[in-house]
């Protein structure tokens, strides 16, 4: 570190001060024409008490030529009294630099102590890691032993599977349950394989897991618990297989009973078939009788329809004749009404017919009312010209002969 503002001619007789003095002149002293007076050898800063160390250097004035600093009060022994102020400031800066260097040295010593403590801690950690590695090796050995036990258990499970297959051939009702048991065993084997894979990964990455020994122990405990659960499940599966054997024996007994019931039901079915055949014969006879009855009924209906058609034709002819008679009766009634209406006039004309041809015409109805034939006159006499015009009409109309 080069002190700020130190002139190239400010050298002392002390070796430490000479080492700290730069060889190149500073920018502040490059413009100084007159060299600063050489001071006497100063007292080393590190030999002074802590409270007497120099303060930070002061900033020189910007106006005018720079002047050499004066020696500080703490370093005044052996120095000339006429030193410039710039040299004193440079020396104060030098003392500040040495103070910071001393503080840095103390910091470095603290760091060295911490490094030594860290190395001792690492040594203890390596010992712990060696112990943990030994425990892990022991756990792997135990896992291998458990693996051998598990293989023996697996062989027993395979034997049980063979027995289960034989029972499956005998009783098809238990096949689904045994399949589920087999699937569960495969799942347990997969879990054990995962545990082995996890242990292999833990062994492979042991260098990277120096600070996670607790995690490895937890995983090892988890694997151990999984193995325990697998063993418990295998035991439960064994008990289930034994229960299935008992159930299969019970099912065999039930199968015998069901077969007996099936034989009885088949016998009953044969009896029902015979009864059904007899009923079918009787139904066939009834169908034949029903067909004959239907044929007879059809013939009767056909004859009744023919008779009904004849009666309808007779009724239509009778209705037609009745209509004709009604027409004749209406014509006869109209003729009778007309004859009754013109009867008095005809009687009057008949009474006057024997007289001479030059006889005058009959009197009007008003004169006839005053005559002797007034009581026989109609209440409503016709008009005077009407009798002459309609005198010959009644003989032209003839009554129709009544139909039988």
Percent of the chain whose pLDDT exceeds 90 = 6
| pLDDT reported for residue 177 | 67
At 327, the pLDDT band (50, 70, 90 cuts) reads: very high
Asked if 349 contacts 391 with a C-beta cutoff of 8 angstroms, the reply is yes
| pLDDT reported for residue 24 | 44
Does position 32 have pLDDT exceeding 50, yes or no?
A: no
What are the structure tokens assigned to 165, written together?
């297959």
What are the structure tokens assigned to 48, written together?
């002074």
What are the structure tokens assigned to 299, written together?
């013939």
Q: d(Cα 203, Cα 144) in Å, to the nearest integer?
A: 14
Per-residue DSSP letter, 43: P
Q: Which residues contact 346 (CB under 8 A, 6 or more apart)?
A: 391, 394
Nearest to residue 84, comparing CAs of 97, 63, 65, 99? 65
Q: d(Cα 367, Cα 96) in Å, to the nearest integer?
A: 186
Question: For the CA atoms of 56, 57, 58, 62, what is the dihedral angle to 10 degrees?
Answer: -140
Percent of the chain whose pLDDT exceeds 70 = 60
| pLDDT reported for residue 247 | 84
Least confident of 148-157, 201-210, 242-251: 201-210
Nearest to residue 164, comparing CAs of 190, 191, 148, 184? 184
Per-residue buried b or exposed e for 367-398, using 16+ beta carbons within 10 Å of the residue's own CB: ebeeeeeeeebeeebeeeeebeeeeeeeeeee
| pLDDT reported for residue 30 | 41
The phi-psi region of residue 221 (left if phi > 0; otherwise alpha if psi is between -120 and 50; otherwise beta) is: alpha
Q: d(Cα 6, Cα 93) in Å, to the nearest integer?
A: 9
Q: d(Cα 90, Cα 42) in Å, to the nearest integer?
A: 13
Percentages (nearest 5) of helix, strand, coil residues in the chain:
70, 0, 30
pLDDT tens readout for residues 292-326:
888 998 998 999 999 989 998 999 999 999 999 99
pLDDT tens readout for residues 182-222:
888 888 888 888 878 887 777 677 666 666 666 667 777 88
């Amino acid at each position: 570190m080069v002190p700020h503002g130190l002139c190239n001619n400010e050298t002392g007789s002390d070796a430490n001060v000479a080492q700290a003095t730069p060889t190149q002149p500073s920018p502040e002293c490059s413009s100084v024409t007159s060299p600063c007076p050489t001071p006497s050898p100063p007292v080393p800063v590190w030999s002074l008490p802590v409270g007497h160390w120099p303060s930070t250097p002061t900033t020189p004035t910007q106006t005018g030529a720079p002047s050499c600093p004066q020696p500080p009060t703490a370093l005044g022994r052996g120095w000339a009294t006429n030193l410039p102020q710039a040299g004193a400031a440079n020396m104060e800066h030098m003392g500040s630099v040495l103070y910071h260097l001393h503080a840095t040295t103390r910091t470095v010593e603290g760091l060295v102590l911490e490094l030594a403590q860290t190395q001792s801690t690492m040594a203890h950690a390596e010992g712990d890691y060696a112990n943990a590695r030994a425990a892990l090796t022991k756990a792997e050995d135990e896992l291998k032993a458990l693996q051998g036990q598990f293989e023996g258990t697996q062989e027993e499970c395979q034997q049980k599977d063979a027995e289960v297959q034989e029972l499956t051939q005998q009783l098809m009702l238990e096949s689904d349950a045994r399949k589920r048991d087999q699937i569960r065993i495969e799942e347990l084997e997969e879990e054990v394989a995962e545990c082995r894979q996890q242990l292999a990964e833990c062994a492979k990455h042991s260098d990277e897991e120096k600070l996670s020994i607790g995690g490895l122990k937890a995983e090892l405990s988890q694997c151990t618990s999984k193995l325990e659960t697998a063993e418990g499940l295998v035991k439960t599966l064994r008990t289930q297989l034994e229960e299935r054997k008992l159930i299969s024996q019970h099912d065999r007994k039930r199968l015998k009973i069901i077969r007996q019931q099936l034989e009885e039901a088949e016998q009953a079915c044969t009896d029902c078939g015979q009864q059904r055949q007899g009923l079918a014969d009787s139904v066939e006879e009834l169908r034949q009788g029903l067909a004959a009855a239907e044929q007879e009924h059809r013939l009767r209906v056909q004859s009744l329809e023919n008779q009904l058609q004849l009666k309808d034709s007779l009724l239509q002819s009778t209705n037609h004749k009745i209509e004709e008679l009604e027409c004749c009766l209406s014509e006869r009634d109209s003729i009778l009404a007309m004859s009754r209406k013109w009867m008095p006039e005809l009687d009057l004309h008949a009474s006057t017919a024997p007289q001479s041809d030059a006889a005058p015409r009959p009197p009007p109805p008003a004169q006839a009312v005053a005559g002797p034939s007034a009581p026989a006159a109609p209440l409503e006499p016709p008009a005077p010209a009407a009798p002459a015009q309609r005198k010959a009409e009644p003989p032209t109309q003839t009554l129709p002969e009544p139909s039988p």
